[in-house]
Chain A
Amino acid sequence: MSALLEVTGVTKRYPGVVANDNVSLTVNAGEVVALLGENGAGKSTLLKAVFGLIKPDSGEIKIGGTPIVFGDTAGVISRGVGMVHQHFQLVPVMTVAENLILGDEPKRGIFINKKAAYDEIIALSKRYGLEVDPDAVIEDLPVGMQQRVEILKALRKDVKLLILDEPTAVLTPQEIDELLVVIRNLAKSGVGIVLITHKLHEVMAVADRVVVLRGGKLVGTTSPKETDEAGLAQMMVGRSVVLQVNRTEAKRGGVVLEVKALEVRDDRKILSVKGVDLQLHKGEILGVAGVEGNGQRELVEAICGMRHREAGSVLINGVATKDMHPHAVHEAGISHIPEDREKHGLVSNYTIADNLVLNQFDQAPFAKGWIRDLNEIAKNAIATVEKFDIRTPSAFNTAGSLSGGNKQKVVVARELSEELPVLVAAQPTRGVDVGSIEFIHNQLISARDKGAAVLLVSAELDEILSLSDRIAVMSDGKIVAIVDSKDADRNYIGRLMAGLDK
């Protein structure tokens, strides 16, 4: 029997960069292959080629022994290849049911057979233990639930080969465990699985084989039995990576940022921050731990002036900041690494150089009066690209052309450039590869050591534990506890996050 997927010598060049350089890969039925690589290593390109979405310059891709035709996505799907995309491929205004049947609708005559669709969806979600409400509208669902729909969408097509592109990035720890079980069960039933993730412990837990890409080239194949997390990280980055952050004792100063009795509503107008008090000191990192959707996002947005403060106040050095005025808040001394870098962090159509000065474009040295100083902007861009190791053919390419991790580096570089007294970092390493995570972590620590007060919000408990000097646990819109990181106990914090202990 031929392999499910056979990629032979695929090369794909983009202007200024070779995304895939002679990559070969085989996936057999019943095995879980983890595809590892830094952002921009060429994983996405390879997958797009497998789906016929882009045309490789050379090489061949076979599914079940027959070569695929460029542009024939439908043909690839019909041969049993399913994919859970990194960016959700769901229509936000449609229901779960409509999204699941799109492209292959059960029919009665010329009409869609809604009853058959519902029955099928309920049977499917029972079979894999992934419960969904067929009538719910996608945009009203939490991300974890949307992810579930995305997985079901792939499973519905009787997949033989399932490709999961960073499926756990948005899930809670419990949901991740459930997903890993689902993956193992699927493999047991004979499905071949390609798993793309940055989380090395997931790879160790679930993969049979690990394939590592670096700079578009295949650098090696290994298995969890033969290596450990540090070994995998080294293969990915090409040098040894320190997974543990080196952190000295914080030199805490006075209170810089003070949040008093803050109440904020979420997009659905539900009170999601319910009276939060926080004091952030100079020279410390205060980590906010919590399961996503417990008010962290709204807290950050309210502090940074992007969301209306229903009640309470935010003070910097004792002076109240303006509500709903991001510019004034920034002037008052808060820099912000936003959770959604695509939406709030970058202007995709602008160049990297322009994005790097978005916060100071009207100030010296980047402007002289009303005129922008393009030379200074260019100089700054070239220096920053070098310093932050932003992987791009040129600092004058658009920010949208960068991979996720490099986009994040642009945001981090910009926000740290001013050295403001307060730094709010929301999910600073989401969807970022290990090499870049290490780099961003070190940048946060050095900002702290230079005297910044850092508020770190992250859904990754490990990140919180390794970086923070103090940890505030947020659950159901309230800070339920603040502990010193020296006394922090992983299980205890986990229980607090789940709202179990008080």
Chain B
Amino acid sequence: MKLLSKRNGYFLFAILATAFFYSKDGDITTSVYATGAAFALPLALAAMVGIMCERTGIVNIGIEGTMLLSAFVAFFVSSLTQNIIIGLICAVFTGSMMGLILAVMAVSWRMDQIIAGTILNILATGLTSFLYVQGKTIPSVFQAIEVPVLSKIPFFGPVLFIHGALTFIGIAIILALYVAIYHTSWGLRSRAVGEHPSSADTAGVSVARLRYINVTIAGGIGALAGAYLSLELVGSFERGFTAGKGFTALALMIFGRWNPLGALAAALFFGLAQAYANQLMIDQVVNIPTQFTAILPYVMTIVVLTISAGKVRPPAAEGQPYEKGQA
């Protein structure tokens, strides 16, 4: 690998910028980065949903809906049972079912996958708006855990090692997914199915089965992203709670070239940008209406996609239903 690659350039820039801010004000920089990491996690997890689906050739634009409905279920089941673990489990189940529904529509019924995903989004928006009740509370959120020793490291400790349980589970899932995609037979088969399904089929890999499995599991991961928002980061639920994060995640997936670590890096960048925007508002460094800082993530999504579009190469069989024997 070239030492002066574009990727290394990004990293170098990120490190230098961080060091510069840290040298100016250590405490604030640390807290901004910790917040940035917290903002980044749901985006990264949601991007994993997209990666798992698209690597096997299924376009999932229903991530937003999956997150929204799961966040809702997580919050209200936790509120009813006064137990956030039960809430979490029900959310993951809900998300998996959303994935399963997508698989039925996209794989078995060979529906247009954009329409199938839109159905999930409308379903989630409708259900959560209809069933929403004001004034509910949950006993507590997933409390921050301080990893012994590691959390005492300056800067890195608070940024990376003081988080709630769902964050650590999420990070583990992202790393595991990266390893699995490139180093296990499941990953090899998934990629083959997403690139050239008839090759996989003639090699004895069931295209439909693998697509069902991946899309369903991905739904569960999407649910984790939703539950993280309502049970760890915010601790409440409102209508339209996920605010387009599921769509932003699709952009991050593309920016990260369908690679889990790439998408994670992109998510961290976005999370940080948002955290900085918030900090600027708090500091009153710039005196602009909050609406403008609030649109920052969306503007960045558009800018980044515009810059990276055209250079990327999605899985070749993306969005195409597969029919056996059509070689």
Q: Is A83 an interface residue (CB 8 A)?
A: yes
A103 touching B325, Cβ below 8 Å: no
Is the contact region of chain B dominated by helix, strand, or loop, or is it mixed?
A: helix
A83 to B, closest residue via Cβ: B202
The A contact surface, by secondary structure, is loop
Q: Is the CB of A107 within 8 A of B195?
A: no
Complex CA–CA separation, A89 to B189 (angstroms): 14
Cβ proximity bits B195-234 to A, threshold 8 Å, 1 near / 0 not: 1101111111110000000000000000000000000000
The reply to whether B202 and A107 form a contact with Cβ atoms under 8 Å apart is: no
Q: Given A85-B327, A91-B191, are A78 and B185 neighbors across the interface (CB < 8 Å)?
A: no
* In the complex, chain A residues whose CB is within 8 Å of the CB of B201: 53, 73
Contacts of A73 in B (CB 8 A): 201-202, 204
Chain A 233-280 residues near chain B, CB threshold 8 A = none
B189, B203, B316, B327 pick with most chain A CB within 10 angstroms: B203
Expressed in whole angstroms, the minimum distance between the Cβ of B38 and any Cβ of chain A is 31
A272 to chain B, nearest CB (A): 24
Q: Which residues of A contact B316 (CB under 8 A)?
A: 92-93
Q: How far is the CA of A111 from the CA of B200 in the complex (A)?
A: 19
Considering only CB atoms, which chain A residue lies closest to B315 in the complex?
A93
Q: What distance in Å separates the Cβ of B317 from its nearest Cβ neighbour in chain A?
A: 10
CA of A105 to CA of B203, assembled, Å: 11
Would you call A91 and B204 a contact (CB within 8 A)? no
Q: How many chain A residues touch the partner (CB < 8 A)?
A: 30
User: Quick check: A105 and B199 within 8 Å, CB to CB?
Assistant: no
Q: Which of A94-102, A385-393, A412-420 contacts B (4 or more CB under 8 A)?
A: A94-102
Q: Is the CB of A94 within 8 A of B195?
A: yes
B196: contacting residue among A83, A90, A104, A110, CB under 8 A: A90
Give the residues in chain B near A104, CB-CB below 8 Å. 203-204
Which residue in B179, B188, B313 is a CB contact (below 8 Å) of A98?
B188
Q: Which residues of B contact A91 (CB under 8 A)?
A: 191-192, 195-196, 199-200
Q: For residue A165, give the distance in angstroms from its CB to the closest CB of chain B.
A: 10
* Number of residue pairs spanning A and B whose beta carbons lie under 8 angstroms apart: 77
B-side contacts of A85, CB under 8 Å: 202, 327
Complex: chain A residue closest to B203, CB-CB:
A103
Q: Is the CB of B203 within 8 A of A89?
A: yes
Is A328 in contact with chain B by the CB < 8 A criterion? no
Report the bound CA distance from A111 to B196 in whole Å.
22
B7 on the A face (CB < 8 A): no
Chain A residues within an 8 Å CB radius of B204: 73-74, 77-78, 103-104
Query: What's the least CB distance linking A57 to chain B, in Å?
Result: 14
Most buried by B among A48, A51, A87, A91: A91
Looking across the interface, which residue of chain B has its beta carbon closest to that of A103?
Answer: B203
* In the bound complex, CA of A496 to CA of B192 (Å): 41
CB contact under 8 A between A54 and B325, given known A78-B204, A112-B183? yes
A71 within 8 Å of B (CB atoms): yes
A87 and B199 alpha carbons, distance in the complex (Å): 10
Nearest Cβ distance between residue B319 and chain A, in whole angstroms? Answer: 16
Q: Shortest CB–CB separation between residue B326 and chain A, in angstroms?
A: 9
Once A89-B203, A102-B203, A102-B205 are accepted as A-B contacts, the answer to whether A53 and B325 lie under 8 Å apart by CB is yes
B284 located at the interface, meaning its Cβ lies under 8 Å from any Cβ of chain A in the complex: no
Task: List the B residue with the shortest CB-CB distance to A45.
Answer: B325
Chain B: which residue is nearest A107 at the CB level?
A: B185
Interface centre among A83, A94, A107 (most CB of B within 10 A): A94
- Cα A89 to Cα B325 in complex, Å, equals 12
Q: Report the nearest A residue to B197, measured CB to CB.
A: A91
Contact flags A147-172 to B (C-beta < 8 A → 1, else 0): 00000010000000000000000000
CA distance A73 to B199 in the complex (A): 12
Complex Cα gap A74–B189 (Å): 14
Please state if A110 and B192 are interface contacts (CB–CB under 8 Å): no
- Taking a contact as CB atoms under 8 Å apart, the answer to whether A102 and B183 are in contact is no
Chain A nearest CB from B19 CB (Å) reads 37
Q: Is B325 in contact with A48, judged by CB distance below 8 angstroms?
A: yes
B23 on interface, CB distance cutoff 8 Å: no
Give the Cβ gap from B246 to chain A, nearest Cβ, in Å: 27
When the two chains form the complex, which single residue of B189, B196, B199, B324 contacts A71, counting CB atoms closer than 8 Å? B324
Other contacts beyond A74-B204, A102-B199: 16, CB < 8 A: A53-B325, A54-B324, A73-B201, A77-B204, A89-B198, A89-B202, A92-B196, A102-B189, A102-B192, A102-B205, A104-B203, A105-B188, A111-B183, A111-B184, A112-B183, A153-B203
| A-B CB contact pairs (8 Å), 29 listed | A51-B202, A53-B201, A53-B324, A53-B327, A73-B204, A74-B204, A78-B204, A83-B202, A85-B202, A87-B198, A89-B198, A89-B202, A89-B203, A91-B191, A91-B192, A91-B200, A92-B195, A93-B195, A94-B191, A94-B192, A98-B192, A99-B199, A102-B200, A102-B205, A103-B200, A104-B203, A111-B184, A112-B184, A112-B188
- Which 6 pairs of residues, A with B, have the shortest CB-CB distance? A103-B203, A53-B325, A74-B204, A105-B185, A89-B199, A91-B196
